[in-house]
Structure 1
Amino acid sequence: MHSWGDKLVLRGLSFHGFQGAKPEERKLGQKFVVDIDAWMDLAAAGKTDHLSDTLSYTAIYDIAKEILEGSPHNLLKSVAQKIAITILTNHNEIFVVRVKVGKPHVAVRGPVE
């Protein structure tokens, strides 16, 4: 386990998007679920209890929403990377970010979790 300090954790963000390489994915769209961990120093926020000393979860949520519901990408890896880069670029107080993008209804033969 990494020790990068404090962490904002967003789990189970759900969006309907048109990501994917298959024509039906681009036409019908599907549900995507996103988990984001963003490491930053939250010591000041813990002491002051002021939103100005931290980052609102909404700022991170809005980035994920805009990308997932926006222009289609063929690969989820590309979507996750764009979310991560946008978070790091727009919010320099975050020094490490981890993004997980999942397709709950991925079309494979066999059980998937």
Structure 2
Amino acid sequence: MGIIKLKNIRTFSYHGCLVEESKIGSDYIVNLEIKTDLRKSSETDDLKDTVDYVLLNKIVVEEMAIRSQLLEHVAHRIITKIFKEIASVSRIIVAVSKVNPPIGGDVEAVTIEMEEYRN
């Protein structure tokens, strides 16, 4: 088995419960970790034998572009789509951070993290 990580995927998205957030948007950072079997690809050196991190990034960017009120909802969609599209993934950890959130304080980011295993 092995782990593939995509660190600090940056997007500009429109998530949040406030009406203003749906209009002005905000910066987000997503960190993704997937568990898969890397033994075959480590021997064959062939992209078809591994999980393509270009596809992982594409899924994250597409799901971040769909407005949601809650970061948990966005993370759940990312997890669901990865499991649906990539059969070899057995576990996913995704963290979605809203940078400089409008919460009335000096807070660098708010982050939710979810971990799911394939059934």
**Alignment TM-score > 0.5, same fold:** yes
Aligned residues: 108
User: Which runs of 5 or more residues in structure 2 are unaligned?
Assistant: 110-119
| Counterpart among 87, 97, 105 of residue 102 in structure 1 | 97
Structure 1 position 73 matched with structure 2 position 68: yes
Point out 4+ residue stretches in structure 1 off by more than 6 angstroms. none
Distance 1:38 1:111 in 2: 28
| Counterpart among 79, 82, 89 of residue 84 in structure 1 | 79
1:1-113 aligned at under 5 Å gives the runs 5-70=1-66, 72-108=67-103, 109-113=105-109
Compute the TM-score of the two structures, normalised by the length of structure 2: 0.86
SS at match of 1:89: helix
Distance 1:112 1:58 in 2: 28
Specify whether residues 82 and 23 from structure 1 end up closer, same or farther in structure 2 by C-alpha distance, changes over 3 A only: same
Match of 2:116 in 1: none
Compute the TM-score of the two structures, normalised by the length of structure 1: 0.91
More relative contact order in 1 or in 2 (CA 8 Å, sep 6+)? 1
Partner amino acid for 1:97?
Answer: I
Shift of 1:105: 1.2
